[in-house]
Structure 1
Amino acid sequence: MVTEVHVDGYDALNELLHSLNPETKLVLYFAGQVNDKGENWCPDCQAAEPIVKEVLEECSKKNFTFIHVSVGSREEWKDPNCKFRTDERFKLTSVPTLIKFHSVERLNDIECQDKENIRMLFEDL
């Protein structure tokens, strides 16, 4: 069963990661912050969201934790010192980004809009 968790920001993500069993299979989905109207400031994130959700539903029998991570506002994300950019575990260069945690497998930017790419990322979970 896929467990979905939503976190806002770097500190909340770190807190969650420290609380999880190290054996837990994790996929992290980094995207821009959603406003009160449910709109994302990042157009690529807005386009990728329904596609990622669809593939995630296809994988509902798999056993992993899927963490939706808000990287914050556009201004926070564009800051060169943004911790999501500088942390060696993530090294984000774009949003959206999907990462199979503790692996080199990742999808960046418009790659997150391709169902086959996402299916391949989820394949061995």
Structure 2
Amino acid sequence: MAKVEKISGYDEFIASIEKLAASADNVNILFTGKKDESGRSWCPDCVDAEPYVNKHCIENAEPNSLFVVVDVGDRTTWKDIKNPFRLDRNTHLSVIPTLINWKEKAKRLEGDQLCKPELFDIYFEQD
């Protein structure tokens, strides 16, 4: 099972990601909508993807892997075209949820791809 870290917002992400990435062999980051008091995201695609992500990224993870869940903000914050997650060259998000392998940023799953178990097999395939 992967170690799970939770980050809220861009500033916290920037302040902690490199230190977190240095602490594990494999780092996967899920960018998702902020959750409310009941633990449910405002983003329906994020809600749909959550059980698949939990199964394929957390429960079946390699030893010494890290899974980082990053809350990109509420709906208004996310929809702003100047949202820093959209502009950052390392994240360059256009849709949430998005799963990125931090060390191999070309490896990513976006939107409804996170609801397709067969794509997780490809994503986690060793080169």
Fold-level similarity (TM above 0.5): yes
Q: Name the counterpart of 1:31.
A: 32
In 2, Cα distance between equivalents of 1:75 and 1:57: 29
Question: Could you tell me whether the CA contact under 8 Å between 2:33 and 2:73 is conserved in 1?
Answer: yes
Match of 1:45, SS state, is helix
In 2, Cα distance between equivalents of 1:102 and 1:52: 19
Identical aligned residues as a percent:
32
Q: Name the counterpart of 2:4.
A: 4
* Change in 2 beyond 3 A, CA 1:52/1:23: closer
Letter in 2 for 1:122: F
- Give 1:58 deviation, angstroms: 4.5
Match of 1:94, SS state, is coil
Q: Name the counterpart of 2:115.
A: 113
- Give 1:57 deviation, angstroms: 4.3
In 1, Cα distance between equivalents of 2:59 and 2:126: 14
- Give 1:23 deviation, angstroms: 6.7
* Change in 2 beyond 3 A, CA 1:64/1:124: farther
Q: Name the counterpart of 1:93.
A: 94
Q: Mean Cα displacement is larger for which, 41-50 or 11-20?
A: 11-20
The unaligned stretches of length 5 or more in structure 2 are none
Question: Could you tell me whether the CA contact under 8 Å between 2:24 and 2:66 is conserved in 1?
Answer: no
Q: CA RMSD in A?
A: 1.9
* Change in 2 beyond 3 A, CA 1:66/1:23: closer
In 1, Cα distance between equivalents of 2:81 and 2:18: 25
In 2, Cα distance between equivalents of 1:35 and 1:16: 23
* Change in 2 beyond 3 A, CA 1:50/1:85: same
In 1, Cα distance between equivalents of 2:58 and 2:87: 32
The unaligned stretches of length 5 or more in structure 1 are none
Match of 1:66, SS state, is strand
Q: TM-score with structure 2 length normalisation?
A: 0.88
- Give 1:102 deviation, angstroms: 2.7
Q: Name the counterpart of 2:49.
A: 48
